[in-house]
Amino acid sequence: MKKIAIIILSVFLLTGCGSMSSVENQIEQTTPKITLKSSPSTKIKPSRTDFSWNGAQTKAYFPAPQGFLNGKKLVQTNNTDKVQITIQPKVRTGIINTTHLMAITLEMVPKSGEDFLPIDVKELESGTWQYNVPADVGKYMYILKESYDDDGYYVTYYFGLEITE
Split at pLDDT 50, 70, 90, the class of 12 is very low
Tell me whether residue 14 is in a domain: no
Tell me whether residue 80 is in a domain: yes
CA–CA separation, 32 and 88 (whole Å):
8
Tell me whether residue 102 is in a domain: yes
- For residue 52, the cross-strand partners are 57, 154
Tell me whether residue 4 is in a domain: no
User: Could you read off the pLDDT of 106-119 as tens digits, one per residue?
Assistant: 999 988 888 899 99
Determine contact, residues 162/75, Cβ cutoff 8 Å: yes
Tell me whether residue 9 is in a domain: no
What CATH number does the domain containing 99 carry?
2.60.40
Tell me whether residue 10 is in a domain: no
Cα atoms found within 13 Å of the Cα of residue 40, Cβ hemisphere only: 3
Distances (CA, A) of 10 to 14, 26, 52, 58: 6, 22, 29, 31
Number of domains in the chain: 1
Tell me whether residue 12 is in a domain: no
Tell me whether residue 11 is in a domain: no
How many residues appear in the chain? Answer: 165
Give me the mean pLDDT over the 111-137 stretch.
93
Determine contact, residues 104/34, Cβ cutoff 8 Å: no
User: Could you read off the pLDDT of 21-50 as tens digits, one per residue?
Assistant: 587 888 888 999 999 999 999 999 999 999
Residue 80 is part of which domain span? 19-163
Query: Which residues are within 8 A (CB) of 12 and not within 5 positions of it... i.e. 6 or more apart?
Result: none
Residue 122 pLDDT > 50, yes or no?
Answer: yes
CA–CA separation, 77 and 73 (whole Å):
13
Split at pLDDT 50, 70, 90, the class of 4 is low
Cα atoms found within 13 Å of the Cα of residue 105, Cβ hemisphere only: 11
